[in-house]
Amino acid sequence: MPGTRQLEPSRTSSRNPGVAAAMSALILAVLLASLDSTIVSTALPRIAEDLRGFDNIAWVSAAYLLASTAVTPLWGKLGDMFGRRRLYLVSTSLFLVASVACGLAQDLPQLIGARVLQGVGGGGMIVLTFALVGDIVSPAERGRYQGMFGSVYGVASIVGPLLGGVFTDQLSWRWAFLINLPIGAVTLLIAARVLPATARKAAARIDYAGALLLAAIATGIVLVTSFGQRWGWASPSIVGLILATVVLAALVVPVERRAAAPILPVTMLTSRTVVLSSLIGFAANAAMFSILLYLPTYLQIVDGVSATLSGVHMLPLVLGLVASQSLVGRWSARVERLRLILVTGMALNVAGLLLLGTLGAGTGTVVLSLYFLVAGVGMGMVPMVVLTAVQNSVPAEDIGAASAVVTFARSIGAAFGVAIFGSLLSSNFAHRLHGLPASGGFDPARPDTITLLPSGVRQTALEAFARATGTGFLWLLPVVALGTLLAVFLVPRRTTAADAPVAAGTPRGSATRAPAA
């Protein structure tokens, strides 16, 4: 393609300046998409006040999560069919246009609609970024580069709420969206120049039925996990959504078997590597996002620190995550160690949850920092290892679809973990209050109102909230323990130094087909 810089496949792609430039664009894209799911959290109260939409404010976050999850399989397959570079540019442009619409929204329906479009673009940016790594670097080096993205997630989870608070207090909540424009413009400029162009498949046909089916399943799961507690887990709406989602899931295999170009090839559903990696990613993300979301809340309520200082207290977790991602990226070049790394990482996730399960109002800062460090190291060792294992197990032309499967599973895992943790935290907190009367404006449904309690009973409520938080982490243990067991049975494809990425402009079909695991 004219004007597109060619990336030469090389055993030493880490030294190729073209690879470094391409990776910088991809990292910026992941930063944009991941920040946008966290930066809004601290701005929501002000948004609700300005747009007069307190009753439906939860949809501002849920709309983005729902849209980004629902479109993940479609973006992955379209990237395989029409070339990931052009789809990446389209999804990033859509994300930026939607960011402008979010920043200019005059009422809540406008903002929610713009968030849906933003989620559609953000979902494409994430899955196509992961797939593009498979085009740029060799299988033996994918783990090293994929590991960078996990660090970006960790940083975004801490920096996002802080930036949201700063923008809301010092400028306007609208800047939580408008800040995407300068970063996104740089991302597009770099990506247009250096990302590799891949050939379009001949006579490609879009699997509309499969795309709609998977989008409907994702919608059902996200709605159940996001609103189960609010609507009531036994309410007709939630029960109906669960039943409908189960029925739709049962239709996936027969529908995709009939499709000429299935969005989710049935061979992936029968691949041990793809299935196990997706389940492990689900379990790991359930723990990871629960920790990232609720630990700052614990610090702000129990320790009484500000949003900014809660981010400072979380630094040991972020440092552990970034350090383990860097080391894992180097170790995973030796594929025979991939399973050992994964099992170790999942085991450390279990250890981190056990440690966090002991949280109390009197837990000291030094002890907390140690707990955070262990949890961070475990979190950093898992996500990109499972993605690398999957990409190395499928034919080159299916890397996008395979990446989408794992990304889809991880997104659902994150929504599941956060929803279940939140529900358990609320119910356990209410149970531990032991009939503590509401007084002075205290509302058991809002732990942040504990500060309004008289000093004589405030410590009791703080201890109740701390213990409820710890119990929530313990309830996640069975999910992560199962993921650890599954990691023992994962047998990744062995790569060699001779494996090479696809050069820009090389037809995907001409790449050597890797045996499915």
> What is the residue-wise DSSP string for 167-182?
HHHHS-TTHHHHTHHH
Strands (E), 238-308: none
The pTM for the full model equals 0.73
Q: What is the DSSP letter of 137?
A: S
Please check whether residue 30 is in contact with residue 95, taking contact to mean a CB–CB distance below 8 angstroms. no
Q: Find how far residue 327's CA is from the centre of its chain.
A: 21
The helix or strand, by DSSP H or E, that contains position 299, with its residue range, turns out to be: helix 272-302
**305 CB burial (10 A radius; 0-12, 13-18, 19+):** middle
Residue 76's H or E segment, with its range, is helix 72-82
| Residues paired with residue 446 on neighbouring β-strands, in sequence order | 443
pLDDT by residue, tens only, the chain of 517 residues: 444 444 444 334 445 556 777 777 788 887 887 777 677 766 766 777 778 766 666 677 777 877 887 788 888 778 777 778 888 889 989 999 999 999 888 888 888 888 888 988 888 888 888 778 767 766 666 666 666 666 676 677 677 777 777 777 778 888 888 888 988 888 888 888 877 766 555 555 777 788 888 888 888 887 787 777 777 778 888 899 899 989 988 888 888 888 777 777 777 777 888 889 889 999 998 898 888 778 877 887 888 877 667 767 888 887 888 788 777 766 665 555 678 888 899 999 999 999 999 988 888 889 999 999 999 899 888 877 887 788 777 777 777 777 778 888 888 888 788 778 877 888 888 888 766 665 666 666 666 677 777 777 778 888 888 898 999 899 999 999 999 999 988 876 544 433 444 443 333 333 333 333 3
Domains (ranges, CATH) in the chain? 15-197 (1.20.1250.20), 264-496 (1.20.1250.20)
Q: Chain-centre distance of CA 210, in angstroms?
A: 23
Q: For residue 263, give the nearest of 212, 313, 310 by alpha carbon.
A: 212
Query: Is residue 403 within 8 Å of 387, Cβ to Cβ?
Result: yes
Q: How far is 215 from 63, CA to CA, in rounded Å?
A: 13
Contacts of 254 (CB under 8 A, 6+ apart): none
Burial 262-282 (b: 16+ CB within 10 A, else e): bbbbeebeebebbbbbbbbbb
Question: 375 and 349 in contact (C-beta within 8 Å)?
Answer: yes
Are 93 and 188 in contact by the 8 Å Cβ rule? The answer is: yes
The pair phi, psi for residue 394, each rounded to 5°, is: -115, 160
Tokens standing for residue 128: 């196509």
